[in-house]
Structure 1
Amino acid sequence: MKFIVIDGLDGSGKDTQIDLLAQYYRNQGKNVVVRSHPCDDNKYGRKSRQALQKTGKFNHIKATIYFGLDAIRSVRKYSHDDKIDVLIFSRYILAVMYLPGVVNTITYKIVSAVLPTSDTMFFLDVTPEESLKRIGSRDEEIEMFENMESLTKNRENSKKFTYNWNVIDGNQSIEEINRQIIDRCTEYD
């Protein structure tokens, strides 16, 4: 099974790239499963999403814990299914960047040692300004981390964790980002 992760700040284009990548593999006759966290098909994902729609430290911690449980559930349920050719995760282990202080670094080291990783993990690096512009164009409720201060902080935090990721400039065109992702993925086919 090919395991692909696409992550990035809100508004970085994760869903767009996942849709394009999934279609690319489906056009080859591959069985593709996409897990975009937090997922709405289980209680952990729903509780994470509910907490993200609120504010405050308690909801911040709640959102992160439930998010982690949702991702772990996805790994357990889908990563050993022989019928799946390509498993694509959106928002996976980089959610730890939302944790405070050094807790995020320690948690990342533990989580990345326990959960599966691959050579096809992508971080779409978009400026906070571009991220906010894209978020503003969506018809969705704003989440607790979708503001300039949080986006700036989280982009800086992400640099501590993406040293072994494929970092792609998310400010480029959709087509160019997609080409870079597919090029990297096909290196490992």
Structure 2
Amino acid sequence: MTKGTASISRRALLGAFAATALTAAPTFSKAAGFLRNAGDIRRIRMYSARTGEHLDMIYWIEGEYLRDSLSEISHFFRDWRTDEVKTVDLRTIDIMAASHSLMEVDEPYLLLSGYRTPATNSMLRSKSRAVARNSLHMQGQAADLRLATRSVNQMASAAESCRAGGVGRYSGSNFVHMDCGDLRHWGA
């Protein structure tokens, strides 16, 4: 944490975030715009079945991203096959956090795929036509996510309402792709 925020307890931060949660549907055109109205705190919650790791991280306070938190998020997003880490694009984190907040869910995201090395992406592409040759996963700009308590359509609708990147519905595999690339959507 930066100087001046060290005296704020994690419990106080979480309480402040909970007190500012929005219940109305968003009318904002960008995820960051929506999050500005969620209070002075941004939070992301995820777990990985592949690594057994859990992440519950406040990564932004009062207009500033927290460098240590972002490093932990990037480590969590690493290619679990190689342990290679790439910095996750802040816009992707914001889209995920805004979508999560819109769904009013306490459940953390299950991260199915974050960063992928080119070798991992190539291997996955050889097994599935659904894997893009120039996937934004290789740039640290995409995540494949699942929630047990929300449908693919609910998750995708929340992400699409942010109007901040790409959203893919993968109903057959029960996950949603979110990225900070061009505004687009696909899948059923």
If the TM-score is normalised by the length of the shorter chain, which range does it land in?
under 0.3
TM-score normalised per structure 2 = 0.28
Give the structure with the higher percent helix. Answer: 1
- Structure number with the bigger relative contact order (C-alpha 8 A, sep ≥ 6) is 1
Higher strand share: 2
Alignment TM-score, normalising by the size of structure 1? 0.28
